[in-house]
Amino acid sequence: MSFLVLLVLGQGFAQQSCEALVASIDSAFAEASEVIMSTQIMQGQLEYAFSKIRLYRDEAGEWQGEELEHRGLPRPPETRDEDEGAEPNFKFNCAVHNLVSVGSGWQLAIEEQDKEFPIKAWALSFTREQGQVVPTEINGQIETKILLIPFRGMVLTSFSDWVFPRN
């Protein structure tokens, strides 16, 4: 009997929905006190820019950022957040998606619904860390024009070294 209960609980623990995983991004940032965020902009194997930032909460509980590494092109000024340490603001629409369990985590593919948005599709990876579901990678497929020249590539954001709980 106890084996059956553990099996049922384990399956429920492993089950996730697109909406629950997307909500876990905000939850992870609400509960965390620190995380490392790396962002790459690539076209094929060519890396245009890379940035690695340590996000941490100051004594007032506000997110701050410390750039640990940067290479490649600078980020355009109009794309900078007013506060570089601001909590990332990811918004995803689960209308068209595919979700699979992979090992102890989840892979989520989302088709972007805003046709004017330069990112056309998202691939997200999640795992459970310190009892919290956290994103490990967010990959956006880019189709846009830069100076009237078509550009296809990807923006890859990865998260590591989550610190919980928030103090």
Q: Where are the domains of the chain?
A: 14-163
Check residue 8 and give its pLDDT.
Answer: 34
| Cα distances (Å, whole numbers) of residue 44 to 37, 89, 117, 152, 154 | 21, 26, 20, 9, 8
One-letter amino acid for residue 150 of the chain: P
Angstrom distance (rounded) from CA 143 to CA 154: 8
Check residue 46 and give its pLDDT.
Answer: 92
Check residue 16 and give its pLDDT.
Answer: 87
Angstrom distance (rounded) from CA 159 to CA 134: 8
- 14-163 has CATH 2.50.20 classification: yes
Low-confidence ranges of the chain (pLDDT < 70): 1-15, 75-88, 166-167
Q: What is the pTM of this model?
A: 0.80
User: Which helix (H) or strand (E) element contains residue 137?
Assistant: strand 132-146
